Amino acid sequence: MCLSIAHNEVGPSSIPAVFDLISNNKSIQDINLSSNNLGSDGIKAFSSGLNNSGIRRLNLSYNNLGPQAGAAIAELIHNDQKIHIVDRRNNKIGSDGIISLDAGIRRGGLRELNLSSNDICPRAVKAIASLIVKTSIKE
C-alpha cells in the first residue's frame, strides 16, 4: 500500500501523527512525504521512528532537508534494512550531506537512491561512485 501526504506542508510538528499511522498499519510500504517542509529536524525525528514500520520506499524530495539530514538518513538506512528506495531530490543536501550518507548506505539494503538537484561537487560524485561499487545499489 502507498500513502501519499505530499504537498501538504505537514512540517516537523506532525511527524508523531505520521508515526502513529504507519506503525499501526504494517501494510503501508511506500510513503510519499515530498514537499512538506520537513527540514533537518523533521527528518531526524522521522528517521528515529521508522524502524518498526513496513516502509520499503521513502520519498523525501523537496523538503529543505539540508546537509545536516545526511547523517539521519544514513542511520535510518543502516538500521532499517527493509528500506530499498529513497528519493531525496531537490533538498539542498550539498556535498557534505551526500558524503555523510556513506556509512548507512554501505550497510543498508538500499537499491535505489535519487539525489538529483542537490548542489553537489566532484568530491561528492566520487563518494557516490565509491558507494555504488561497494554496495547493492542497482539504480
13-40 burial by CB neighbour count: b if 16+ within 10 A, else e?
ebbeebbeebeeeeebbebbbbbbebbb
This prediction has a pTM of 0.83
CATH code of residue 45: 3.80.10.10
Residue at 114 is within a domain: yes
Residue at 139 is within a domain: no
- Looking at residue 94, its pLDDT comes to 83
Task: Enumerate the H helices of the chain as residue ranges.
Answer: 15-23, 39-48, 69-79, 94-99, 102-107, 122-134
Q: Which of 117, 108, 113, 116 is nearest to 135 (CA)?
A: 108
Residue at 130 is within a domain: yes
Q: Which of 139, 95, 93 is nearest to 113 (CA)?
A: 139
Give Cβ neighbours of residue 87 (< 8 Å, ≥ 6 apart): 34, 58, 59, 60, 61, 114
- Looking at residue 33, its pLDDT comes to 92
Residue at 75 is within a domain: yes
pLDDT tens for each residue of 6-63: 999 888 888 888 878 887 778 899 999 999 988 888 887 777 667 678 888 999 999 9
Its domain, for residue 109, covers: 2-134
Return d(Cα 24, Cα 21) in angstroms, integer. 6
Q: Tell how far CA 75 is from the center of its chain.
A: 10
- C-alpha dihedral (49, 139, 121, 105), degrees to nearest 10: 40
Residue at 78 is within a domain: yes
- Total domains in the chain come to 1
